[in-house]
A = this chain, B = another copy of it.
C-alpha cells in the first residue's frame, strides 16, 4: 500500500539523466567556441561531428532543454549557450577552496581558466607546516585549522581534494563538515560523502591507465 502519486504534477519537469548532464559541458564549450567565431546557427549534425556523437543523441539530449531548435536551420548558438548556462546553474559564480598545496593543488590555484569560467579559488590549505604561510598566486597556504572558518565566512561551495590518496577521505570529511556542497576529487581513490554533498572525480592516473589499456590493445597484446 503506497502513497499515491501527486494527482497534479504542476511544473514538475522530469529530471535530466546524469548521462545527459555530463555531456552538457561539452556542448557548452563547443557552442561558446563557435559563437566566438561568429556562427549563428548550429545543427545537430554539426554538433555531433564536432563532439563525436550521433545527431540522434544530440537531438535527444537537447530535447531536455527548455528551448527548441528550428526546422531546416538547427539551433541558435546564442540561445543554446544561454539555456545550457542556465540549466547547469552557471549564472552564479561559485567559490572554491583547495586542500593540498603540492604541485597539483598549486597549479589549480594558479590556473586562470577556472576563474574565467566562474569558479573562483578563495583559499588553499595544507596540513604540512612547512608549506603553511607560503604564497600561491594571491593566496597564502593556511593550516587545516583555518578551513572551517574560511568555508563558513566566504560562502565556499566547492572543495578541491588535491592530496595523496591516503589522506583523501579525511580531507573529504573535513570539507563536508566545514559545509561545502561539492567535492572535486583529484586523489586516485574513491571518497564517500554524506547526503547533500556531491562528489565528482577527476581521473588523472586512471585516465593514463585507460590509455595504457588502449595502447596495449593497438599493439595487439
A interface residue numbers (CB < 8 A to B): 21-22, 24-26, 28-30, 33, 50-52, 87-90, 94, 96, 102-104, 106-108, 110-114, 117-119, 157-158, 165-166, 181-184, 188-190, 192, 196, 198, 200-219
- A29-B188, A52-B192 given; A90·B209 CB < 8 A: yes
In the complex, the answer to whether A119 meets B210 with C-beta atoms within 8 Å is no
List residues of chain B with CB within 8 A of the CB of A107. Answer: 103-104, 106-108
Contact of A110 among B103, B204, B214 (CB under 8 A): B103
Name the distance in Å between A199's Cβ and chain B's nearest Cβ: 8
Please report the C-alpha to C-alpha distance between residue A183 and residue B215 in the assembled complex, in whole angstroms: 10
Kindly report how many copies of this chain are found in the complex they form together: 2
List residues of chain B with CB within 8 A of the CB of A216. Answer: 88-89
A214 nearest in chain B by CB position: B198
Beyond A29-B206, A103-B111, A106-B107, 20 extra complex contacts between A and B, CB < 8 Å: A21-B213, A28-B209, A29-B165, A29-B190, A51-B190, A52-B192, A88-B216, A89-B212, A102-B111, A104-B107, A107-B107, A107-B108, A114-B208, A118-B212, A181-B215, A181-B219, A184-B211, A198-B210, A198-B211, A198-B218
